[in-house]
Amino acid sequence: MSNNRSELDGSSKKSGIYYGWYIIAALFFATFLAIGSRQGFGVFVKTWEQDWGISTATVSIAASVGWLVNGVSQPIVGRLTDIYGGRRVVVISLTVMALATIGVAYVTNIYGLIALSGFVISFAAGGISPATTGVIVARWFEKKRGMAMAVLIAGGSVGGLIVVPFLSYLLVEFSWQTAHWLVGGLALALGVPLLLIVVRSTPEDMGLKIDDGESSASTETEVVVRPVGPKFAEEWRDSLNSKPIWQLSIAYFVCGITTASIAVHFVRWAISEDITTGTAALAFGVLSGINAGGVLVVGLLSDRWQRKNLLGAVYLVRGLGFVLLIVLPGSTAIWAFAVVGGMSWLATVPLTASLTADVYGVRNLGTLFGFANMAHQLGGAAAVMLFGWAFTVWGSYDITFAIGALALLGAGIVSLSIREKQDSVRYSPVPEGAAVALHESITDEE
């Protein structure tokens, strides 16, 4: 009887799709909505200026507060994910984000925008960030972690490709209020139920095991042998005494500077170059579309090559994109940046998340990657404010684009200096003839 059962389990494993990929699909859609809608903030900047009689710098306050609040939320939601599991965090977060997005439709001044977009939506968005979704993925995937992370993050790229131009269309044809109603309603009607039905925090919640769909009940006598990285630690605080987390966070701080500034000010820059809002939104959509493919390619390569080399290259390519915004005429620069910037836009996320998991394990991944994400958002908050102030004072973004290019050069150098072969579990051999306990087992005993 046991032999027949074993054969059936093996057959099921070979013929079925690993449930982790369904998890990826549900999180992909949630990321599509969350990141897509937040990247669409810049579409409304000029309209809010006109409706409320305020400056670009004033609107930038709301965006800057949002990035700051989102940054503070990252280690908090990451820690909650480590303790209570990612499923609860993502479901509650998307629900709050959807309701608050609908609420923005009723805002009549900058103060209401700061309250809802700057505080409520931005904090809730932390629960749909890689600090939580990336942890869920890392606990379902190990061998194909880089590719799985890339597919997840591609959801944000596709969100930029579809949601940003869609918001622009709704703004032109209807109103910015209608745009917020539809996006919030879509998240509430489709995104939240999908997460509830599909997502589970760990494979153990379904009697499965990481990387394959085999029931744990059918392999009671099997010994799990895994290498333990040299920097794996029981307590997350101990990891802060090592170099890689700071290298990753510093580079990610620069990533935040450059992605936030473009997300908020790209359309405003285009308008200053006599380019229409629709064209600018379309260009950002092209950037996101190219990035969706770029993220998948980077994810595939990252499971074969050193991730830090790819990460460094991504920052350097993005730096080139910022240089093009300065040296080329606006009508040419917008499309050149869409292509070059698209090659690198969100590719930093799966690489940074995977490197963090490789170096420190998944036990405290939510907390540690939450700190890296906080650095990212703090950089974004400062940049959004600086870019808005610079444009209000000088009527140009050239100086701030130059600062972004130099910062990206530094981020590329810092990323390349990470000693991945020395610190990553990917290069730690399994002791021959020895069973290494699963270091970051996710059990109820935690």
User: Could you tell me if 61 and 110 are in contact, meaning their C-beta atoms sit under 8 angstroms apart?
Assistant: yes
What distances in angstroms separate CA 211 from CA 144, 175, 252, 380, one per listed residue? 8, 46, 28, 35
Work out the average pLDDT over 305-328. Answer: 93
Residues 6+ apart with CB under 8 A from 52: 109, 110
User: Could you tell me if 281 and 43 are in contact, meaning their C-beta atoms sit under 8 angstroms apart?
Assistant: yes
Domain map of the chain by residue range? Answer: 20-202+227-427
Helix (H, G, I), strand (E, B) or coil at 212: strand
- pLDDT of 221 over the 60 cut: no
In this prediction, residue 424 carries a pLDDT of 78
User: Could you tell me if 426 and 266 are in contact, meaning their C-beta atoms sit under 8 angstroms apart?
Assistant: no
> With bands split at pLDDT 50, 70 and 90, how would you rate the model's confidence at 428?
low
At 18-48, the pLDDT tens digits run 899 999 999 999 999 998 888 788 889 889 9
Taking alpha carbons only, the member of 254, 269, 255 closest to residue 394 is 269
Q: How is residue 106 written in tokens?
A: 């009723």
- Angle between helix axes 277-302 and 348-360 (nearest 10 degrees) is 30
- pLDDT of 121 over the 70 cut: yes
User: What percentage of the chain reaches a pLDDT higher than 70?
Assistant: 86
> With bands split at pLDDT 50, 70 and 90, how would you rate the model's confidence at 184?
very high
Taking alpha carbons only, the member of 404, 131, 416, 411 closest to residue 251 is 411
User: How far apart (Å, rounded) are the C-alpha atoms in residues 55 and 274?
Assistant: 18
Residues 6+ apart with CB under 8 A from 205: 85
**Mean pLDDT of the chain, nearest integer:** 83
At 125-174, the pLDDT tens digits run 989 987 789 889 888 988 888 788 888 888 877 887 888 889 989 998 99
- pLDDT of 1 over the 50 cut: no
Residues 6+ apart with CB under 8 A from 387: 60, 261, 264, 265, 397, 400
Residues making up the chain, counted from first to last? 446
Work out the average pLDDT over 75-83. Answer: 86
- pLDDT of 349 over the 50 cut: yes
What architecture is domain 20-202+227-427?
Up-down Bundle (1.20)
What distances in angstroms separate CA 331 from CA 66, 276, 338, 405, 419, one per listed residue? 30, 11, 12, 20, 42
Q: What are φ and ψ of residue 209, in 5° steps?
A: -130, 155
Helix (H, G, I), strand (E, B) or coil at 17: coil
User: How far apart (Å, rounded) are the C-alpha atoms in residues 383 and 115?
Assistant: 20
> With bands split at pLDDT 50, 70 and 90, how would you rate the model's confidence at 228?
low
Helix (H, G, I), strand (E, B) or coil at 209: strand
What distances in angstroms separate CA 256 from CA 30, 141, 203, 263, 443, one per listed residue? 21, 26, 32, 10, 34
- pLDDT of 94 over the 80 cut: yes
User: How far apart (Å, rounded) are the C-alpha atoms in residues 378 and 153?
Assistant: 20
What's the predicted TM-score (pTM) here? 0.70
Q: What is the DSSP string of 245-282?
A: HHHHHHHHHHHHHHHHHHHHHHHHHHHHTT--HHHHHH
User: Could you tell me if 303 and 145 are in contact, meaning their C-beta atoms sit under 8 angstroms apart?
Assistant: yes
User: How far apart (Å, rounded) are the C-alpha atoms in residues 78 and 37?
Assistant: 22
- pLDDT of 316 over the 90 cut: yes
**Largest distance between two CA atoms of the chain:** 79
- pLDDT of 232 over the 50 cut: yes
User: How far apart (Å, rounded) are the C-alpha atoms in residues 138 and 355?
Assistant: 11
Q: What is the DSSP string of 215-247?
A: -GGGGTTPPP-----TT--SSHHHHTTSHHHHH
Name which of 25-29, 122-126, 262-266 the model is least confident about: 262-266
H/E element holding 197?
helix 192-198
